[in-house]
Structure 1
Amino acid sequence: MQWFTIFKKEILEDWRNFKWIWVPLVFIVICIMDPLSTYYLPQIIDAVGGMPEGAVFEVPAVQPEQAIMMSLAELSMFGVLVIVAISMAVIAGERKSGVAELILVKPVSYFTYISAKWAAKGLLVFTSYLIGMLASWYYVNLLYGEITAGQFVSLFFFYLVWLIFVISLTIFYNTVVKIPGLVLTLSVVTIMGMSAINQIFGHHMSWFPNSISGHITEMLMVNKIPGALWAAASITIILSVVLLIASNFMLKTKEMAD
């Protein structure tokens, strides 16, 4: 009951802040932006004045698999920033204002408090991501060619594992510091650092969380789930669980110290 009360409170607060409206809309824009702009690029060029006389511009043919991966590429940048932004004050803001102390003074466990807020943000991200990717799938099938339902479901759930990791990482930093802006900075720097590690050592670490997108591309091309994708997804899930456990430890330590 305590868990559900905190979960419901978080959902209601996000509704009052219109997050259940603007976050899905932002995800739709992020997901359809590249596939649409790439397809209509010749018309866009003509609309802004066209090419210089004698110049020839040919748009390379884009396969459906490449088109839908454009959506994931944009989510990897802008979608992650949105997730971190909507999660950066979920605990840190309440710790800073003293609300967290009032809640935790009651017989509410630290893990109940953390996991309920994590689940609420996860539901918001899941819903927004689903709506955005369904819009992308529709336009990719309409403009580029068919992505089967099986391919879409596999792509959707494997990349969702990465987004859940991003939420877990941000929640963890919420328990480390009380300043939402610092949570944002630490989360983004960590993700950028992981991306740099993957670019340098990715060929030796096919299980690394940041390699999920690359493995999804391979999955779409060969129409088979690579073993490396299962490994990367499994490691990412384990890291998300570890981050939640570490969040519980950090919050308990910080609150007891205060």
Structure 2
Amino acid sequence: MTNFAVLTKKEFVQMLRELKIVWFPLVFIFLGMSQPILNYYLPAIIKSLGGNQGIIIDPHMIAQKGGEVLAGTLGSQFDQLGVIIIIVSLMGAVQSDKANGMLAFILTRPVSIVEYLSAKVFSNYLFVAASVAIGYLVSYLYVNFLFSNVNPVDMLLALLIYLVWVLFIVLFTTMISTLFNGQGIIALLSIVFLLLCRVIVGLSPAIDLINPAAMSKHAMEVLTMSTISSTLGWNLLLTLLLSVLVILVSHQWIAKKKYHHV
């Protein structure tokens, strides 16, 4: 068994011990369900509670198309609370190994930094992406049931585009976890930076080109308009380049610690 396979297995075993493999997908299932359910029943809830006096309910909100609601799952649920949950779950990715001496133990064996980081990123991204996809598919089923049907091709294409943004979230949080020792500062820096990236999407086309969070906007456009933006290719390329840069920073930081094989 290769070093990569052993380290990947170690990560999944750790997820199982922490029960992350149970609660993490459940959180995204809940987030995926909440958007279509709230959109569908909110007007009725307000009316039944007698709290609609003086409140004008936009008829467009009630007659939303399925694609708009599914896009709302990405923009309102996954890009807010979902991002925070991903960061909190990953803030100890490398930091915990540094704190308990596992990083030094692993890298003073015949294990390269590339093998260590690739196993760490691969296992975490695979798990996070699968959880996001499950929550998204649950939302898709609810949207098709409560609203209009969403084109399956658009649904899958939007998911693939969105998972590029998820990849950057995982890589950036891993980098911050590598550079800093306190989980509080790791979570704070990651949350502030990544949510800021999401907030500034749409302010400037030039900024959107280099902003990884704009991948979420492209995914939402596929769902709402069934079109692919002409800038998607450039945004995808620059996001992948930034992802490579982020992982290189993590590699260089570990390399400067001068671990050696024994």
TM over 0.5: yes
State the partner residue of 1:237. 240
Structure 1 residues 93-150: Cα deviation after superposition (integer angstroms, max 9, x where no partner): 1101212111111111112111101111111111101110110110111111111110
Match of 1:211 among 211, 214, 219: 214
Matched to 2:160, the amino acid is F
Q: Is the 8 A contact 1:162 1:212 kept in 2?
A: yes
Shift >6 Å, 4+ stretches: none
Deviates more, 1:203-212 or 1:235-244: 203-212
User: 1:218–1:198: structure 2 CA closer, same or farther, 3 Å change rule?
Assistant: closer
Q: Is the 8 A contact 1:216 1:229 kept in 2?
A: no
Query: TM-score normalized by structure 1?
Result: 0.91
Aligned length: 254
Q: In the aligned structure 2, how far is the partner of 1:23 from the partner of 1:77?
A: 15
Match of 2:144 among 138, 141, 145: 141
State the partner residue of 1:131. 134
User: 1:100–1:38: structure 2 CA closer, same or farther, 3 Å change rule?
Assistant: same
How many angstroms does 1:55 deviate by? 6.2
State the partner residue of 1:27. 28
State the partner residue of 1:120. 123
Report the identity percentage: 29
Map residues 35-114 of structure 1 onto 2, 5 A cutoff: 35-52=36-53, 57-60=57-60, 61-73=63-75, 74-114=77-117
Query: TM-score normalized by structure 2?
Result: 0.90
Q: Is the 8 A contact 1:69 1:217 kept in 2?
A: yes
Task: Name structure 2 gaps, 5 residues minimum.
Answer: none
How many angstroms does 1:46 deviate by? 3.7
Structure 1 residues 170-228: Cα deviation after superposition (integer angstroms, max 9, x where no partner): 1111211122222111111221343455454x233342322222222333344232221
Matched to 2:43, the amino acid is P
User: 1:198–1:217: structure 2 CA closer, same or farther, 3 Å change rule?
Assistant: closer
User: 1:147–1:5: structure 2 CA closer, same or farther, 3 Å change rule?
Assistant: same
State the partner residue of 1:17. 18
Q: In the aligned structure 2, how far is the partner of 1:240 from the partner of 1:96?
A: 25
State the partner residue of 1:7. 8
Matched to 2:206, the amino acid is H
Q: Is the 8 A contact 2:12 2:123 kept in 1?
A: yes
Q: Is the 8 A contact 1:172 1:243 kept in 2?
A: yes
> What's the secondary structure of 2:213's corresponding residue?
helix
Matched to 2:99, the amino acid is K
Q: Is the 8 A contact 2:65 2:148 kept in 1?
A: yes
Deviates more, 1:216-225 or 1:16-25: 216-225
Q: Is the 8 A contact 1:42 1:59 kept in 2?
A: no
How many angstroms does 1:167 deviate by? 0.2
* Cα-Cα RMSD: 1.9
How many angstroms does 1:255 deviate by? 5.3
User: 1:186–1:55: structure 2 CA closer, same or farther, 3 Å change rule?
Assistant: closer
State the partner residue of 1:171. 174
Q: In the aligned structure 2, how far is the partner of 1:143 from the partner of 1:197?
A: 32
Q: Is the 8 A contact 1:96 1:179 kept in 2?
A: no
